[in-house]
Amino acid sequence: MHCSATVLLFLLLVPAAVRGQSPVEPVTRADVAISTGWVAENRSIDDGSCCSSWSSGLFKGVSAGYYWTDHLKTEAGVGDPGTTEAYGTVTERLRELAISSWQILNEHRQLMVVGHRHLGAARMRTRHDSALASVERLIAQGQKTGELRTDAPRA
C-alpha cells in the first residue's frame, strides 16, 4: 500500500514539474510555392490504330496560401504546361488533327454557319490563320523528312 501511495504521489507531482512548450505563433501565415516538372501527354485518338503520338514539355506553376489557423489553409495556384514538343510521325499527327478538327466542326457547325453569315468568308479565314499556319508547318516538316510528297502544293 505504501508503494502505491508513493507512485500515485509521484505521478501527481511530475506533471507540475514538467512544463510543456508554450504555443508559438507561426513566423508568417502566408506562403508561396513554385513548381516545375516535366509533362508528357498521349495525344493519340483512341480508334484502335497501332501507333501513338506523344508530346512533352516543361511545366511551370506557382501557388499561394494563407493559414487561417494551424489546421485550416486556403490555397490557390496556377500552372502552365507551356509549349510542348510533339513526338510521332507527321502522317499520324495530321490524321489526328483531321479527326479532332472534324469532331469539333461537327459539334459547332451551327456556330460556323452563323459566323460565315455575319463575318463573311474572308474574315472567317483570317480568324483561322494561326491554325492553318500550324498545319502548313506540319506539312512542310513532312515534306522535308520525306514522309509527305513534295510534288503536291502545301496550300
The three cell numbers locating residue 60: 511551370
Predicted pLDDT of residue 77: 94
Whether 60 and 80 have beta carbons less than 8 Å apart is answered as yes
Number of Cβ within 10 Å of residue 123's Cβ equals: 11
Confidence of residue 49 (pLDDT cuts 50, 70, 90): low
What is the SS3 assignment for 30? Answer: strand
The three cell numbers locating residue 88: 510521332
Residue 79's alpha-carbon distances to 32, 43, 67, 76, 111, in angstroms, are 14, 20, 21, 11, 31
Predicted pLDDT of residue 61: 93
Confidence of residue 95 (pLDDT cuts 50, 70, 90): confident
Predicted pLDDT of residue 50: 52
Predicted pLDDT of residue 48: 54
Domain definitions of the chain by residue range? 26-88, 89-155
Whether 94 and 138 have beta carbons less than 8 Å apart is answered as yes
The three cell numbers locating residue 108: 459547332
Whether 84 and 73 have beta carbons less than 8 Å apart is answered as no
Alpha-carbon dihedral angle through residues 116, 118, 121, 122, given to the nearest 10 degrees = -150
Whether 128 and 114 have beta carbons less than 8 Å apart is answered as no
Confidence of residue 125 (pLDDT cuts 50, 70, 90): confident
Whether 143 and 150 have beta carbons less than 8 Å apart is answered as yes
